Structure 1
């Protein structure tokens, strides 16, 4: 899983996340890729939930 980008579209905070080769563009609160949920976007980082676990991803400068 890789966080590609974070941005705002129409006042809504969003993220582009790659999971197993598929890129998802999701808004906060949206579910994607078999049960992940984008909880929040903070700067270049995003907080995600999957089941009972959470994870924070940040955009890497190495692409």
Structure 2
């Protein structure tokens, strides 16, 4: 059962996997840029609220 909240979480997970996949591919790496992109995906307000609703409890933000 994919609710809008689950869809939001799955989209964020797919985005994060794509970012990490680019990082582990051969070639030059940008750890700082990768971390910034991951934070942009995983600390979005819509994702935090979706996780709150899925978990039924407050999810702590990664960055305050």
Q: TM-score range by the shorter chain?
A: under 0.3
> TM-score when scaled to structure 2?
0.19
Q: Which has the higher strand share?
A: 1
Larger Rg: 2
Q: Which has the higher helix share?
A: 2
> TM-score when scaled to structure 1?
0.19
